[in-house]
Structure 1
Amino acid sequence: MGLADALLDLQDLTRRLRRECPWDREQTAQTIVPHTVEEAYEVADAALAVDDDKLVDELGDLLFQVYFLALLLEERDAGDLETVSRRVHAKLVRRHPHVFGDAEARTAERVRHRWEAIKTEQEGRQGIFHDVPGSLPALLHARKVQRRAAAVGYDWPDLDGPLAKIDEELAELRWSLARSGRPAPETEPDAAVVAEVGDLLFTVVNLARFVNVDPELALRATSRRFVRRVELAEALAADAGEAWTELSLEYKERWYEQAKGDLADGGDAVPRG
């Protein structure tokens, strides 16, 4: 069975599920989209884990989401899967004149600059921060905003800029914390501290963008490493007859460092921006 047959079979399956499955019949774009976002993150996890079999599986789940949402468009006479496919095909051809036309772009950076120019000049997008979805996770939203600013030349000339800015923002946060102190648990934080933490996070995202690291994926990878290390530290302590919850912070840290060494998880893929 070829690619065309496989894609048509999936389309037929999507239509049948929409007709015959009680759950699928009830769905709308609003109820499906959270699943779409979830599937996209699962694709990212599989890719970062370099798990090809899982990536094949998760890409299938995400592809089904595309088919289902396109079917909902068709039901509203607002488009269909063919419309979706032809529109993205035309868009990609239009945005790659260095491939399909006479334009030249010999570097990835030049391609990105031309991409932004085409969006403005040919697609009628207005303003520096056009089409930045408010629904993006905060780290990705910050990176996209920064990319938009960089596209019009508002960016650091070199790595020294964002590194120095991190030092500056961290100093301002320390000053605000010195004035307000640490708040009691479950109480509202000082407004100045909130602002300074936001500034520091925004600047760290800018540094990540500068070194081609995707901040969202990098933070998720770090969270996964932390979970693995703490779970192993707890297991190591238990094997030694010690209850993790009863250990002092000093002894927890010792087990954590041993777990960190045992895992030696430097093999994680580097999330790129």
Structure 2
Amino acid sequence: MSQLSNRKAQLEAFDKLLTIMEELREQCPWDRKQTLESLRHLTIEETFELSDAILDNDLQEIKKELGDILLHIVFYAKIGAEKESFDIGNVITSLNEKLIRRHPHIYGDTEAKDEDAVKANWEKIKLKEKGNKSVLGGVPRSLPALIKAMRIQEKARGVGFDWEEKEQVWEKVEEEMQEFKTEFNAASTQEINKEKATAEFGDLLFSLINYARFIDINPEEALERTNLKFIKRFQYLEQAAKQDGKSITDMTLAEMDVYWNKAKEGE
């Protein structure tokens, strides 16, 4: 039996990790000093590093970053045990119970014929569990705005508040685009109402994110791919100009466009 499918080996590896965590907490000055609060920003950083590895489709790096996040989970649980609040066993048991509870189509007598039905059941059960007064109460306040928009829309869809056809969503995009154009006319020299223009631009972005969701595009991933593409092209521009003895700070936009187009051709 391979290492990947050997449950005994997996449990032994996890047991060793728990032992190492105990030893580090007792013997390492840095590990002894850590708190839930001090680990928080490090966990966020590790999560972004995992995201980078996934975008790069680097499986070995994904494995490494998953290990780093698992370490943080075990670390938090160790601190929780020291506070006599919870330990890793409580964390896992709670997770197991939640997964069973939120999959009644697997562990109960509820039917779910497709992904949308599963999501709808999940949101209804979650709403009941947490006692939120709003379906949107479970959306973290500190989420980046683009991701928050996605989660808001997904949760609203989970209880049936959504468009029926993607054509309707695109009509909304065009409507918001026209409203923004009216508020911020690029051809006009008249001073704009920045507050109203900002509001209309937000509506436009929200509608675009909604449309992306309808055609199964993750807008966060799409934007990040464009960010990376821009970085790659701009760095080519910098390097190629330098090789030709030029500085981009002294170049015209037309001169820079020559290198930019070469970067695009090389992709």
TM-score, with length taken from structure 1: 0.86
1:107-122 alignment to 2 at 5 Å?
107-121=114-128
| Structure-2 separation of matches of 1:10 and 1:181 | 64
Task: Give, in angstroms, the shift of residue 243 of structure 1.
Answer: 2.3
Q: Tell me: CA distance 1:113–1:34, structure 2 relative to 1, closer, same or farther (3 Å).
A: same
Q: Tell me: CA distance 1:180–1:112, structure 2 relative to 1, closer, same or farther (3 Å).
A: farther
| Structure-2 separation of matches of 1:70 and 1:218 | 35
Partner of 1:270: none
Task: Give, in angstroms, the shift of residue 218 of structure 1.
Answer: 2.2
| Structure-1 separation of matches of 2:20 and 2:77 | 13
**Equivalent pairs, count:** 258
Listed one character per residue, the Cα deviations across residues 225-261 of structure 1 (whole Å, up to 9, x for unaligned) are 1101110122222333332222211221221121122
Moved more, 129-138 or 114-123: 114-123
Partner of 2:181: 174
Could you tell me which amino acid in structure 2 is paired with residue 190 of structure 1?
Answer: K
Task: Give, in angstroms, the shift of residue 18 of structure 1.
Answer: 2.2
Partner of 2:202: 198
Task: Give, in angstroms, the shift of residue 181 of structure 1.
Answer: 5.7
Q: Tell me: CA distance 1:199–1:5, structure 2 relative to 1, closer, same or farther (3 Å).
A: same
Pick from 36, 46, 65 the counterpart of residue 43 of structure 2: 36
What secondary structure, in the 3-state scheme, does the structure 1 residue paired with 2:137 have?
A: coil
Could you tell me which amino acid in structure 2 is paired with residue 90 of structure 1?
Answer: E
Moved more, 58-67 or 190-199: 190-199
Matched, 1:252 2:260: no
Structure 1 outlier segments of 4+, above 4 Å: 179-183
Partner of 2:167: 160
Identical amino acids, percent of aligned pairs: 34
| Structure-2 separation of matches of 1:123 and 1:102 | 22
Listed one character per residue, the Cα deviations across residues 49-107 of structure 1 (whole Å, up to 9, x for unaligned) are 11111111111011111111111211211111000101111111111122223332231
CA contact (8 A) 2:124 2:159 kept: no
What secondary structure, in the 3-state scheme, does the structure 2 residue paired with 1:238 have?
A: helix
| Structure-1 separation of matches of 2:191 and 2:260 | 26
Structure 2, unaligned runs of 5 or more = 1-7
Pick from 112, 124, 144 the counterpart of residue 105 of structure 1: 112
| Structure-1 separation of matches of 2:190 and 2:216 | 35
| Structure-2 separation of matches of 1:162 and 1:81 | 44
Task: Give, in angstroms, the shift of residue 109 of structure 1.
Answer: 1.5
Partner of 1:186: none
What secondary structure, in the 3-state scheme, does the structure 1 residue paired with 2:37 have?
A: helix
CA contact (8 A) 1:229 1:259 kept: yes
Q: What RMSD in Å do the two structures reach over aligned CA positions?
A: 2.2
| Structure-2 separation of matches of 1:14 and 1:47 | 27
CA contact (8 A) 1:173 1:193 kept: yes
Higher RCO, Cα 8 Å, sep 6+? 1
Q: Tell me: CA distance 1:181–1:241, structure 2 relative to 1, closer, same or farther (3 Å).
A: farther
| Structure-1 separation of matches of 2:145 and 2:119 | 22
Q: Tell me: CA distance 1:173–1:153, structure 2 relative to 1, closer, same or farther (3 Å).
A: same
| Structure-1 separation of matches of 2:144 and 2:117 | 27
Whichever structure has more helix as a proportion of its residues is: 2
| Structure-2 separation of matches of 1:214 and 1:152 | 21
Pick from 122, 140, 145 the counterpart of residue 138 of structure 1: 145
| Structure-2 separation of matches of 1:106 and 1:171 | 39
CA contact (8 A) 1:71 1:80 kept: yes
Partner of 1:242: 246
1:40-55 alignment to 2 at 5 Å?
40-55=47-62
TM-score, with length taken from structure 2: 0.88
Task: Give, in angstroms, the shift of residue 139 of structure 1.
Answer: 0.9
